[in-house]
Amino acid sequence: MVFDKNNYSPGTHPDLPPPLGTVGVVGWLKNNLFSSLSNSILTLLSLYLLYLLIEGGLSWFVVDAVVNANDKPGCRKIADGACWAVIVKRFDQFIYGFYPLAERWRIDVSFCLLFVAAAPLLYPDIKFRKYMLVFSCIYPFIAFILIKGGLFNLLMIETNLFGGAMLTVIIGVTSIACSLPLGILLALGRQSRLKLVKVISVCFIEFMRGVPLITLLFVASTMLNYFLPPGTNFNLLIRVIIMMTFFSAAYIAEVIRGGIQAIPKGQYEAADAIGLTYWQTTRFITLPQALKISIPGIVNTFIGLYKDTTLVVIIGLLDPLGIGRAALADTKWNGLSTETYLFVAVIFFISCFAMSRYSLWLEKKLSTDHN
């Protein structure tokens, strides 16, 4: 097939398919893996390494792995791959901490309802959004009563029994949900023309960013008692959540301030010219655009916050990492750190990866350029 451009008189040239080997699977392979001799050698070498890795990994992870055993020697007797028995035996602890067995359905129900409550906030196009948002508003109370108990014949559970992934989700989700609005207010406050509001916002942000989170958690666990009136027994978990919220709100505020500053001056002039008030401009013009620009930064901060919840180990709360360390301290499971930490890593990776994908999806959805 030879196309000669002279075969067509001007203005009658038809659309032709692209030359073979530039599109499709073959084209992709050629462009990406075998574009030159050195590239081809690297590709083959990588494939071989990948094969070694999978072969070795597979036997350790799956083929030689032990799931049923009562202790580490028990594992080793059967095979010398991964000893997943430590995870299996302590799985409930990894998820629920020391929450009483008979009451764990309350955690399960709260967790499922969390998705219902989060859906209308995360997916703006969802059906019946208005009604679902009402549920989102009352969900915190439902979850609190369900998890903590003490009302409606629900057994009261002390928060020191909370632990594992459930604790991570409680701290993470609550801090994330609270720090976004607080961060927005701080960002607006920092830009405010009211001097007092501005000074307070700047001081709060700079203080929270200037202090390591660990210090704040120590303050939460010990020093806060000195500041509170004597006799008040302020729950440690709530104190931790407040500190986490303040800490990430300061970062969120700075990320959003960056977004606000990226908005061209003309947007405010246009808003002024059609007669919008400051709050209307903030709500309809400033925030939608600033938040959209800030999505990657905001999600980045949230992922950081979520992983930083592991720091609560230091003040004695047992999140998955704490549970894992407790398991390793047990003489029965001594030395299985690879399995334990891998599992903990997976627990965190699932949530953080989900957040990251969601943010990509949202960015794409909100994009209003040519498409």
Partner 1 sequence: MNSENKNYVIKINEMHKWFGSFHVLKNINLEVGQGERIVICGPSGSGKSTLIRCINRLEVHQQGHISVNGIELSGDLKNLEAIRSDVGMVFQSFNLFPHLSVLENCTLAPIWVRKMPKKDAEELAMEYLERVKIPEQAQKFPGQLSGGQQQRVAIARALCMKPKIMLFDEPTSALDPEMIKEVLDTMIELAETGMTMLVVTHEMGFAKKVADRVIFMDEGEIIEQNTPKLFFTKPTNNRTKLFLSQILNH
Which positions lie near partner 1, rule CB under 8 A?
A: 264, 266-267, 269-277, 280, 284-285, 288-289, 292, 366, 368-371
Distances (CA, A) of 15 to 8, 18, 153, 170, 189: 12, 9, 74, 58, 57
Closest to partner 1 by CB, 172 vs 259, is: 259
Query: What's the closest the beta carbon of residue 293 comes to partner 1, in angstroms?
Result: 10
- Give the shortest CB-370-to-partner 1 separation in angstroms: 6
Residue number with CB closer to partner 1 (331 or 371): 371
Task: List all residues 6 or more positions away from 3 whose beta carbon is below 8 Å from its beta carbon.
Answer: 16
Task: Between 4 and 269, name the residue whose CB sits nearer to partner 1.
Answer: 269
Distance of closest approach, residue 206 Cβ to partner 1, in angstroms = 30
The residues with which 83 forms a beta bridge, in sequence order, are 66
| Residues ≥6 apart with Cβ < 8 Å to 293 | 258, 259, 262, 263
Nearer to partner 1, 95 or 188 (CB): 188
Least distance between partner 1 and beta carbon 276 (Å)? 6
Check if the beta carbon of residue 175 is closer than 8 Å to that of residue 244: yes
Shortest Å distance, C-beta 283 to partner 1: 9
- The nearest distance, CB 292 to partner 1, in angstroms, is 7
Q: Rounded to the nearest whole angstrom, what is the least distance from the CB of residue 274 to partner 1 in the complex?
A: 4
For partner 1, give the closer residue by CB, 274 or 329: 274
CA distance 321 to 119: 28
Q: At closest approach, how far in Å is the CB of 296 from partner 1?
A: 17
